[in-house]
Structure 1
Amino acid sequence: MKILILGHRGMLGSDLMLRLGASHEVTGKDVDEIDIASEDDCRRLIAQCSPEVVINAAAYTDVDGCERDRERCMAVNALGVKNIALASRERALMVVHFSTDYVFDGRKGAPYVETDQPAPLNVYGDSKLEGERFLQAFAEKHLLIRTAWLYGPQGKNFVKAILEKTSVLDTLDVVDDQIGSPTYSWDLAAAVQLLIEGGHAGVFHVTNRGRCSWYEFAVRILQYAGKGEVTVRPIRSDALSRPAVRPAWSVLSCRKFAEATGRSMKFWHIALRDYLERMGQLK
């Protein structure tokens, strides 16, 4: 299968390249090679590469930065998706795109299923929801994957931030009133491969199993990394001065994915150990 991955040097894109490149003909392009906010660029690239599947792993994911730069956020996360979808529809290509738990407001109190009504609380969530709508409106064949709390070897993420802070701080304050499901990019890439090779389409929620708060996540990171001397203190979200409001409870139900593929995702704490071992940080 010929696959084009946009954002191939990013956190998810790099692991998609490794996973899919082992068994498919994969081409990667990154943000310095294509402006997905340009419809002409998208058309030219897809014509040049002639893929069967286009995977859009390019995104503007700075949640607070999106509040400060709505125009850039919408250009990448919404308009870019529209351009990719339109260019792909002309050639009847499958488009794989990623969205977020932040399209929900966190008030349900139970895991969100694919058919739940989105209600984003911030600009980032707005932009991703708009991207979802463009994908569904303009891509005749599409796979929309919502995920959450992503981390991996490439780019900035919560795991790296926590470990970096331990080099200068012996006490960390971490939010304990936001609940979600940390997701390892390698595991998400494996799930994407299952969905693509299985010929699936539509909307799927895919995260590692289980749930925790950011505080609980931080505690487990330090435990596995052998940083027991560092103290972690739980705090409330309103103790931080951040531009974007986050949902308090954004756990996604992955039952549809498990039923479609016959596979369940790893529990989040097992995936975290796998990641730290891969990075040489597991103690």
Structure 2
Amino acid sequence: MKVLVTGYTGQLGYDVVQRGLKNGLSIVGIGSKELDITNETEVHRYVKELNPDAIIHCAAYTAVDKAEDDKNKCWDINVEGTKHLANAASEIAAKFVYISTDYVFNGESEKPFKETDNVSPIGYYGLTKYEGEKIVKQLLDKCFIIRISWVFGLNGKNFVKTMLRLAETKNELSVVGDQIGSPTYTYDLAKLIIDMVQSDKYGVYHASNEGYCSWAEFAQEIFAQADANVKVKSITTEEYPTRAVRPKNSRMAKEKLSANGFTPLPKWQDALKHYLTELKHEVK
């Protein structure tokens, strides 16, 4: 099976390529230097020449706060870029995997969001990712839409790395405690994506590591596992204002994975333990 992966230079794209190679797939990972996904002509030419059996679209504009002011660029990448790739996939009858986000929800529910729940983004980034979802559904039958949250992996910046860096100079940190969700380890998610793309169980899925926590609880667990003596003070969203509004409830129901025969991701605490071990090896 020949697979094209966009966003290879990011956290998820990198791990998807590594997992695909490990599973014996013919896999090509590209970043923005290899292909400008906002250029329709370029996208169609590239995809037609490569002629993959599947496209896993991990590339995205993910600077959530910056997106509120840099709307044109965010739209071009997340909406137009997705449209070009989906159209190209349609022309060659390739499967398509679109990576979406918990930010498509408004975060106002008291329960975990199901795949079938109404979508109502409260920020521009979430809006563009939802527009991408709609385009993929309109253009393709053979598609997977995977909503993820709170991503961390080896190849790039993330919350875990930020906390570890701050722990070098701080002994107390204030972290938001009223936004609840699930961390997602790209190593675990990549396994699922590669399994999924080799199936024909198309549709919308929620995929993150098992269990829920607040950002403050996530930080506490990071410091506990890393043996860092840092006290975490839990604060409210209002005490830590950001340019973009964040959903307070980012919990997503993931029962559909098991119902369709896919293995749920490990507990987030176990994922974090594995990740911290990998980080140590990388440093050495």
TM-score bracket for this pair, using the shorter chain length = over 0.9
Tell me, in whole angstroms, the C-alpha distance in 2 between the residues paired with 1:196 and 1:241. Answer: 39
Describe the SS at the equivalent of 1:26: strand
Tell me, in whole angstroms, the C-alpha distance in 1 between the residues paired with 2:241 and 2:110. Answer: 25
Question: Residue in 2 aligned with 1:81?
Answer: 82
- Aligned-CA RMSD value: 1.3
Tell me, in whole angstroms, the C-alpha distance in 2 between the residues paired with 1:27 and 1:103. Answer: 29
Describe the SS at the equivalent of 2:4: strand
- Contact 1:195 1:261 (8 Å CA) reproduced: no
What is the 5 A alignment of 1:144-159? 144-159=145-160
- Contact 1:88 1:94 (8 Å CA) reproduced: yes
Question: Residue in 2 aligned with 1:112?
Answer: 113
What is the 5 A alignment of 1:59-208? 59-208=60-209
Is there any run of 5+ residues in structure 2 with no aligned partner, and where?
none
Letter in 1 for 2:16: L
Question: Residue in 2 aligned with 1:246?
Answer: 246
Tell me, in whole angstroms, the C-alpha distance in 2 between the residues paired with 1:135 and 1:197. Answer: 18
* Percent identical residues: 38
Question: Residue in 2 aligned with 1:19?
Answer: 19
Deviation at 1:230, TM superposition (A): 1.2
Deviation at 1:75, TM superposition (A): 0.9
- Contact 1:3 1:53 (8 Å CA) reproduced: yes
What is the 5 A alignment of 1:30-45? 30-45=31-46
- Contact 2:57 2:99 (8 Å CA) reproduced: yes
Letter in 2 for 1:256: K
Question: Residue in 2 aligned with 1:231?
Answer: 231
Per-residue CA deviation, residues 162-183 of structure 1 (Å, 9 max, x unaligned), is 1111122221110001000001
Describe the SS at the equivalent of 2:97: strand
Question: Residue in 2 aligned with 1:2?
Answer: 2
Tell me, in whole angstroms, the C-alpha distance in 2 between the residues paired with 1:86 and 1:174. Answer: 42
Per-residue CA deviation, residues 17-38 of structure 1 (Å, 9 max, x unaligned), is 1101121000111111111111
Deviation at 1:264, TM superposition (A): 2.2
- Contact 2:104 2:126 (8 Å CA) reproduced: yes
Letter in 2 for 1:4: L
Tell me, in whole angstroms, the C-alpha distance in 2 between the residues paired with 1:43 and 1:248. Answer: 39
Question: Residue in 2 aligned with 1:48?
Answer: 49
Tell me, in whole angstroms, the C-alpha distance in 2 between the residues paired with 1:258 and 1:149. Answer: 21
- Contact 1:207 1:265 (8 Å CA) reproduced: yes
Tell me, in whole angstroms, the C-alpha distance in 1 between the residues paired with 2:32 and 2:120. Answer: 29
- Contact 1:198 1:261 (8 Å CA) reproduced: no
Describe the SS at the equivalent of 1:68: coil
TM-score scaled by structure 1? Answer: 0.97
Tell me, in whole angstroms, the C-alpha distance in 2 between the residues paired with 1:249 and 1:210. Answer: 13
Tell me, in whole angstroms, the C-alpha distance in 2 between the residues paired with 1:144 and 1:264. Answer: 16
Question: Residue in 2 aligned with 1:276?
Answer: 276
Deviation at 1:210, TM superposition (A): 0.6
Tell me, in whole angstroms, the C-alpha distance in 2 between the residues paired with 1:186 and 1:235. Answer: 30
TM-score scaled by structure 2? Answer: 0.96
Per-residue CA deviation, residues 170-217 of structure 1 (Å, 9 max, x unaligned), is 211100010000010001001111211222211111110110000000
Describe the SS at the equivalent of 2:174: strand
Tell me, in whole angstroms, the C-alpha distance in 1 between the residues paired with 2:70 and 2:9. Answer: 23
Letter in 2 for 1:241: P
Is there any run of 5+ residues in structure 1 with no aligned partner, and where?
none
Say whether 1:220 aligns with 2:259: no
Deviation at 1:262, TM superposition (A): 4.5
Describe the SS at the equivalent of 1:261: coil
Tell me, in whole angstroms, the C-alpha distance in 2 between the residues paired with 1:95 and 1:208. Answer: 23
Tell me, in whole angstroms, the C-alpha distance in 2 between the residues paired with 1:261 and 1:185. Answer: 20
- Contact 2:185 2:272 (8 Å CA) reproduced: yes
Structure 1 stretch displaced more, 248-257 or 197-206? 197-206
Deviation at 1:103, TM superposition (A): 0.3
| Count of aligned pairs between the two proteins | 281
Question: Residue in 1 aligned with 2:263?
Answer: 263
- Contact 1:194 1:261 (8 Å CA) reproduced: no
